[in-house]
Structure 1
Amino acid sequence: MEPVIPDEKAIKPPHKIWILELWDMCKMAVIAIAIMLLLNIFVFNLSLVKGQSMEPTLENSERLFVDKLVYHFASPKSGDVVVLKDPSTGPDRKTFLVKRVIAKPGDTVEVREHELFVNGQPKSEPYTDVIIEDSDFKPLTLGKDEYFVMGDNRHAGRSKDSRYFGSVKKSQIVGRAEFVFWPISKIRSL
């Protein structure tokens, strides 16, 4: 006959069992929160669209899934929708913008007669149907790790972008917006 080994929980008073289970749940919650925070810092971010600067592509109050790893392995491409640190605010402020990459390092950008040109050629922009209402600007050639970003809404004064603060460094780009996940009725990839 084998000896009977009593269950640990059976020999502990009921109030201690409850405390042990609560302690286990608290440890699991702390671990889950720590993992989510690490993923949010290094892998992805969930961002809220504020304002009208990316209309018609993105609307106010839509929520985005942002891939923060992609640009550690590749460079932003023309047409990518990116989240970047607002260069017009001080380094202490954590303000972010959602913009589209229009030109990459080595490209020359200009606006002539309300039309966008990249490397001397009119830029095909199927994501917007609005002409650039702001005044023209002379050709600007981007340096190493510099990107020219614009909002899709080209109405005068609607988008704080590279026309306002100049080119942005790759280090200022937080990640690429991959898809809209909220509201559910508007889920779509970008």
Structure 2
Amino acid sequence: MGLLPAKGMQEQEEQKASASPEGSLREIWKWMKLTAAGLLLVVFIHQYFFHFSTVRGISMEPTLVEGEWLFINKTIRLAGMPQRGDVIVIKRNSEEERKPVFLVKRVVAVGGDEVHIRRGRLYVNGEAVSEPYTGTPIEDGGFEPYTIEEGHLFVMGDNRHRYASHDSRSFGAVPLEEVVGRAEWIIWPLDKWRRL
């Protein structure tokens, strides 16, 4: 009987080890650890960096329509405060449903700004705002001048038809703590793929 080269002996030992019950258990344990680490990484990224969200309702038409998927950047609060014109996701507590409700709205004013709605137009700091993303003048009537507190945002839906959007005109300015992230992209359906 001849001697096996060292490499051949090592391969045989590894095959025996993996064929034994202990080797199989080690292999399963290794895959379980890798899977758990992967899941933890996904949860961490989802919690602190980005996630996907589906549009529900009509409040952001014509910019967003029901069923579209959005890429939400959750690092915006680390990088700085949302700006006028940003489309953001906010998390509000609903007394009716007794659970958090996620809303997609557009930032129209930030802390220190004065908001006023007159004759279907939005005014910020006394100047009429150009809003090419809306499809109609504001039909819900006027809104007396209101100064936004620091650390808050005034948000509205792009759908300005009467009763189409539940937003800061009814629930007030939104504290920054309620901002989940900024909607950066429409990612589904593919023919609607674009940056917001």
Counterpart of 1:50, as a letter, is R
Structure-1 residue corresponding to 2:107? 101
Instruction: Give me the whole-angstrom Cα distance separating, in 1, the residues matched to 2:10 and 2:80.
Output: 59
Query: Are 1:153 and 2:159 an aligned pair?
Result: yes
Counterpart residue number, 2:52: 46
Q: Deviations over 1:92-147 (max 9, x none)?
A: 62211000000011111011112111111111101112111102110001111121
Match of 1:6 in 2: 10
Answer yes or no: is 1:169 the counterpart of 2:175: yes
Q: TM-score, normalised by structure 1?
A: 0.91
Give ranges in structure 2 of 5+ residues lacking alignment.
none
Provide the rounded CA distance (Å) in 2 between the counterparts of 1:2 and 1:9.
15
Distance of aligned partners of 1:130 and 1:11 in 2 relative to their CA distance in 1, 3 Å threshold: same
Change (3 A) 1:60 1:189: same
**1:164–1:9 CA distance, 2 compared to 1 (3 A):** same
d(CA) in 2 for partners of 1:95, 1:9: 54
Correspondent of 1:25 among 22, 31, 46: 31
Alignment pair present for 1:35 and 2:35: no
Contact 2:94 2:101 in 1 (8 A): no
Distance apart, 1:173 and its partner CA? 0.9
> Are the counterparts in 2 of residues 84 and 173 from structure 1 also a CA contact under 8 Å?
yes
What is the identity percentage for the equivalent residue pairs of Structure 1 and Structure 2?
Answer: 41
State the partner residue of 1:58: 64
Cα RMSD for the two superposed structures? 2.2
Match of 2:191 in 1: 185
For 1:156 and 1:52, locate their aligned partners in 2 and report how far apart those are by CA, in whole Å. Answer: 12
Instruction: Look up the SS of the partner of 2:43 in the other structure.
Output: helix
Kept in 2, the 8 Å contact 1:113–1:136? The answer is yes
CA contact (8 A) 2:94 2:100 kept: no
Return the offset for 1:19: 4.2
Q: 1:120-131 to 2 correspondence within 5 Å?
A: 120-131=126-137
Aligned length, in residue pairs: 190
Of structures 1 and 2, the larger Rg is shown by 2
- For residue 75 of structure 1, report the CA deviation from its aligned partner: 1.0
- The answer for unaligned runs of 5 or more in structure 1 is none
The Cα of 1:183 is off from its aligned counterpart by 1.7
Could you tell me which amino acid in structure 2 is paired with residue 144 of structure 1?
A: E
Paired position in structure 1 for 2:83 = 77
Q: Distance in 2 between matches of 1:54 and 1:39?
A: 27
Change (3 A) 1:82 1:151: same
Does the Cα contact within 8 Å between 2:72 and 2:181 map onto a contact in 1? yes
* Paired position in structure 1 for 2:147: 141
CA, structure 1 residues 14+2, in 2 after alignment: closer, same or farther (shift >3 Å)?
closer
1:114 aligns with 2:105: no
